[in-house]
Amino acid sequence: MTYADYHRRSIQERDSFWAEQARLIDWQQPFTQVCEHDRPPFANWFVRGTTNLCHNAVDRHLAGRGGQNALVWVSTEVDQERLITYAELHQEVQRMAAILQAQGVGAGDRVLIYMPMIPEAVFAMLACTRIGAIHSVVFGGFASVSLASRIDDAQPKLVVSADGGSRSGKAIAYKPLLDEAIRLAAHQPEKVLMVDRGLAPFERVAGRDLDYAQERTRHLDAQVPCTWVESTHPSYTLYTSGTTGKPKGVQRDTGGYAVALATSMRDIFQGRPGETLFCTSDIGWVVGHSYIVYGPLISGMTTILYEGLPTRPDASIWWQLVERFKVTTMFSSPTAVRVLKKFDTAAMKQHDLRSLRALFLAGEPLDEPTATWISQALGCPIIDNYWQTETGWPILALANGVEKQRSKFGSPGLPVPGYDVKLVDEATGEDITAPNQKGVVAIEAPLPPGCLQTVWRDDARFVKTYWQSVPNRLVYSTFDWGVRDEDGYFFILGRTDDVINVAGHRLGTREIEESISSHPAVAEVAVVGVADALKGQVAVAFAVLKDPTQAATPEAALKLEGEVMKRVDEQLGAVARPARVRFLSALPKTRSGKLLRRAIQAVCEGRDTGDLTTLDDPAALQQLRDAMRN
């Protein structure tokens, strides 16, 4: 079967297609309806079927691969590692589940997980789904005010946390941040379960704080059976930023999510039981949920949980892990690759990477120069894919597990099975069918299995935010611009609110960034639209150089700026030429590696930057301010 036929079936013969994919997981009770969509845009998948996410990730593998490594934890921050088999993972998850149950946590209760990248965080996630509790993972180290807002929204009965995490060998104390968040929150969790790593001394709150090591000892022999829940039962909530400032709790189901992940592991990532997947994300983000924890484990793979930076102790650390653990599938981000782009490719070539079949990249648009560089350095396929916290798994990708497809650098590929992706006119809502014409990337209802059910405790916000922004029709808006070429491949141009309107010409920041990135001196770039009295907006670019000495003097910087502007002139035309190009040593980013474009724009326009709780390096923002001041 061709991929075109496969995808067509997933849309036109939806129920029979997804009933087939549902065989990839275990069901305790069969579903009676594949998709219930009588109240658009809400969709329920595998109605009245009962299953359990933890069972599908752990228990069902015990008989055939109990002795296989399920979880490999490596920390270059504390120079420790731990290999955990499926049988051992099963024991640890039951111990964690017993601890939760002893504190009154049951099906439907929320547990907030505020943890670094340590095995206990994975135990906690799996323990929650084992007993039907709903976990809400918040990125470790999040500021107290942001954490408090999530506590108030999720209203957890219990919080699982640790004394601290580590970054570049420096301890980051979590407990003071957590204590302050609980003080600020209107909702007060009944208990806090603390994992003490010995990184940061902390004070215990009497009667509230529990010691994980002590509680684990009490439940060493615990046997906690899986709680079978309906397919539509929420498995977790995960918060993503909203335009109103109040975070949106993306609510994920159980059965649909398990089926979607199993399908994606086979069709897109081609992960096979017994192989190893290395995803460099964090469990605080959706990629970590789907492709560090649940996806690879559902597929019977070994998953690597890595605490550390891609450059510490040196730029070869990721490739050491690939060689040592025979990684077959790797998943990272374009930002991480651009960081590595500053280092010599010898760091990769000194390791045996023959086990690696493909490197998948997602999280932001992948520019062609970066894709070309990493492809040549690794000598394996580089596969872009595009999705969101809301969808939980890729919207656009190459499903090479169905039919081998040609990669096009700069494109995440084609619609994934189940996604009826359209390009629509932002003003009329009409479909754009001609190739190479820009439109809003949208998805026809119903969203496929695995996507968000709603916004936690706010159905009205779910409908208004995602389903009412495109005029005259009910489609899910991704809020991203895109174009589609003659072969049906999509190219993402940037957020709909990142469009620059220069003297009536609408320019996507992605187009300008890609042009600047093609300059051999540039490692990374961000382009924002800045208010201009004459033209409405002008483009301003901020670039990180491979060799900072190339802009070490004002004269050298001015010369290089001219070269960059000329390149944009030649590739996109004078209208797209940035008003200025500033050279920085680092760009302001979130802890997950995404550019803080709105903050960059605010600095350029002399406005308040707003909430910066996710800012990774304050020095980068100060450097930006200095560059604008000078």
pLDDT in tens, 54-64: 999 999 999 99
Structure tokens at 98: 């017993």
Answer whether residue 242 shows pLDDT above 70: no
Architecture in CATH of 503-629: 2-Layer Sandwich (3.30)
Structure tokens at 166: 């580590």
Q: Encode 445-497 in three state secondary structure.
A: CCCCCCCCCEECCCHHHHHHHHHCCCCCCCEEEEEEEEEECCCCCEEEEEEHH
Residue 222, SS3? coil
Nearest-angstrom CA–CA distance, 173 and 175: 6
Structure tokens at 122: 């994975």
Structure tokens at 482: 């895109």
Nearest-angstrom CA–CA distance, 202 and 613: 22
Structure confidence at residue 243 as a pLDDT band (50, 70, 90): very low
pLDDT in tens, 153-178: 999 999 999 999 999 999 999 999 99
pLDDT on residue 506:
64
pLDDT on residue 247:
78
Higher confidence at residue 376 or residue 363?
Answer: 376
Structure confidence at residue 626 as a pLDDT band (50, 70, 90): confident
Answer whether residue 595 shows pLDDT above 50: yes
For 444, half-sphere exposure in the C-beta direction (CA atoms, 13 angstrom radius) is 14
Contact of 500 with 537, CB cutoff 8 Å? yes
pLDDT average, residue stretch 554-570 = 92
How high does pLDDT run on average in the chain?
A: 93
Q: Encode 52-102 in three state secondary structure.
A: CHHHHHCHHHHHHHCCCEEEEEEECCCCEEEEEEHHHHHHHHHHHHHHHHH
pLDDT on residue 602:
87
- Residue 401's nearest CA partner among 547, 269, 558 is 269
Q: Domain map of the chain by residue range? A: 503-629
- Residue 297's nearest CA partner among 508, 604, 68 is 68
Residue 499, SS3? strand
Nearest-angstrom CA–CA distance, 565 and 550: 16
pLDDT average, residue stretch 17-34 = 98
Model pTM greater than 0.85?
A: yes
Higher confidence at residue 265 or residue 511?
Answer: 265
What's the one-letter identity of residue 171? A
pLDDT in tens, 182-203: 999 999 999 999 999 999 999 9
For the chain, the first-to-last Cα distance in angstroms comes to 60
